[in-house]
Amino acid sequence: MNIVSFGGGTNSAALLIGLYKHKIPVDLITFADTGAEHPHTYQFIKVMNKWLSEHGMPEITVVKTVDRYGNRLTLETECLRSHTLPSIAYGYKRCSQKHKITPQEKFCNRYPPCREIWQRGEKVNRFIGYDAGEMKRYEHSRKHNEADKKYHNRYPLIEMWGWDRDDCIREIRAAGLPLPGKSSCFFCPSMKRQEILYLKKHYPDLFKRAVALEENAMPYLKTVKGLGRNYSWKDRFGKE
């Protein structure tokens, strides 16, 4: 069984295109929705689903984080309740683990075709979209693969086709698809100045929500000053 962890960005789109071009079957595609993706990501998923359907591939299965009572829990809600910023602001990646990786793993844990394979003592093939320009990330990930009892993690962009970022962009355009844009939350502390200004100009309501999240955490911040880590979005971009 072959599954794809779809991130919503350039590499993930190129990965799906490459698998189709090379006649590698795909049985399941999952995308974890934090509840705070950029509008262009939600739009691209619709476009990608149309392309997948036209090419005889499964559409993207969207999974979400829920609390222990089964209620939807977005990253934004979690941050507001706990008066914190996304963990990446503090130098950790717990937000990605909890709202991206874990919901996909939980879905697969309950997915009958996956369970049948594991019950036979076999592994599921999981395709991951690291490109040829991400060798450090790739090598780090590979160190954990041998200990993974559930998955054979595969990296076709690197291991099969040697595609770097430019190759991925070329393949997406050749497939007649628009470029997906960067995939992240609209209040991600890793966003760059031009991305934040674009958000403020084109999606002012989302910018206001990001600033409200920041202000909600402000009285409790000790090691960082805001979403910009050493500065707050409100102070730096509120009047621009």
| pLDDT digits 0-9 by tens, 81-134 | 999 999 999 999 899 999 999 999 999 999 999 999 999 999 999 999 999 999
Spatial strand order in the sheet of 124-127 = 60-63, 28-32, 2-5, 124-127, 151-154
pLDDT of residue 178: 97
pLDDT in tens, 199-227: 999 999 999 999 999 999 999 999 999 99
pTM: 0.93
% of the chain exceeding 70 in pLDDT? 100
Q: Which CATH superfamily is domain 2-174 in?
A: HUPs (3.40.50.620)
Cite the residue boundaries of each domain of the chain with CATH code 3.40.50.620. 2-174
CA atoms within 13 Å, Cβ hemisphere of 79: 32
